Copies of this chain bind each other. A is one copy, B any other.
């Protein structure tokens, strides 16, 4: 079975998905929708697809599903349109910056009985998957302490920061999803603290660039998360899970395994530079899973509800940071 997909959004993430769709044996990129005619034409050209406008794409019987990779503010209207057209949706995270809107998107999908997935790419990172598989196989017993470290190489442009919903909704939302995915339980309370240590203008915009969070759960398992918007040694993406029987760690990836030794010591390379490099396989495996889901097979994609819950944790973290209190989440 081969699926024909419509891609909305010809930006950086859109291009990754287009490449993975084009290379997949069970899929083809049917059309590309983007307000920028040059970007959509370039991308369509490269992937053997056509340029299309939204209405025609959704009306096209040949389109089996839609991948939404446009800016966050377009997600809800696009989900609404896809729901109306009865097209299954893969939507980049977050569903929306507002949890009410996110909830509305989920309801729309449910009412129209369309599939709605949210793109949490890290669930497909081979190291994180292996860690979870070992966890499920009982390698360390139940998680007692989960530690997630996530540091971007450098802060995004201020414009982006202002539209981003803040560090917790934009960046740590991935870690909240990881926490839920690995803990296998809903956090019951959040405590968050944050600072502006990297870029003053981020602070002046009311946001933070450095943060630490504790999540509590009903079982007593605890999760620590730390984020920074700047990291000198690459894109730092590590997870450590501790339990009664041991510890699992997923370390950073590097481009090669070369080490140089001299009087300064033994030097290994920095972590891969950023998400395009680190999560290259993850994006590919994620699209593969979406295609499996379209075919009705077992999959591990985050659904709309997962997207909402991660967003609610981000909201709670933001409230906790601002009010300097622990925030129960009713999780």
Contacts and interface: CB of A to CB of B under 8 A. Distances in A.
A87 interface: no
Contacts of A81: none
A279 to B, nearest CB: 13
A306 B270 CA distance: 34
A251 interface: yes
A211 B198 CA distance: 29
A151 B98 CA distance: 40
A85 interface: no
Interface stretch (A35-43, A177-185, A187-195): A187-195
B262 A140 contact: yes
Given A23-B23, A270-B265, A260 B224 contact: no
A60 interface: no
Contacts of A129: 256
Contact of A212 (B139, B145, B196, B265): B145
A226 B265 contact: no
Q: Give the number of copies in the complex.
A: 4
A283 interface: no
Interface residues of A, number: 68
A252 B249 CA distance: 14
Contacts of A198: 244
Given A127-B256, A130-B256, A232 B261 contact: yes
Contacts of A140: 260, 262
A251 B261 contact: no
A217 to B, nearest CB: 9
B251 A139 contact: no
A242 B259 CA distance: 12
A127 B258 contact: yes
A240 B184 CA distance: 27
Interface of A: 23, 126-127, 129-131, 134, 139-140, 144-145, 147, 149, 151, 189, 191, 193, 195-198, 210-212, 214, 216, 219-222, 224, 226, 228, 230-233, 236, 242, 244-253, 255-270, 324-326
Given A230-B244, A246-B260, A324-B326, 17 more contacts: A127-B256, A130-B255, A131-B258, A134-B260, A147-B226, A189-B193, A195-B219, A224-B224, A232-B245, A232-B246, A232-B263, A233-B247, A233-B266, A245-B262, A249-B258, A253-B257, A265-B270
